[in-house]
Amino acid sequence: MQARKRIGLVAHDGRKQDLSEWVKFNEGTLSRHELWATGTTGAMLTAACPSLKIGRLKSGPLGGDQQLGAMIAEGKLDVLVFFTDPMTAQPHDVDVKALTRLSTVYNIVLALTRTTADFVIHSPLFERGDYHPVRPDYAAYIRRRDEGA
């Protein structure tokens, strides 16, 4: 993992303000990394922190969550900060579950709460470029699937 992390930022409507405050508080640290956000979240974060360069994807329900998932699957994202709202039903809940599943499958950093995000960004490992996460080996699974098991 490089010292310059590739970070996805997304938040449900009820948590967007919380994410905005977290990003503003950590603006100096985040400015040294590559940032990506889903549409509405990205617009809000860009307005709150105009000095940050944030790549914007589509809105979550319109495919932005899947774009982040593709980035994870292609090895183009190291960290996902996704402030979820556990008190509100989400019409695109399956997309949210897919993102958390892919983060687990590919063993990337996943922060679903502000406290977790704080611990991640302030970890000594966060700024280092010599950390090598263990990448799961799915060769046996792929072989089994290809053999029709």
Q: Catalytic site residues? A: 65
Q: Taking phi first (over 0 means left), then psi (-120 to 50 degrees means alpha), and beta for anything else, what does residue 9 get? A: beta
Burial class of residue 15 (count of CB atoms within 10 Å of its CB; 0-12, 13-18, 19+): buried
Helix (H) or strand (E) holding 8, with range, is strand 6-11
Given a contact cutoff of 8 angstroms between Cβ atoms, the answer to whether 54 and 37 are in contact is yes
Between CA 2 and CA 33 the distance in angstroms is: 10
Separation of CA 71 from chain center: 9
The dihedral sign for the CA sequence 101, 99, 107, 44: negative
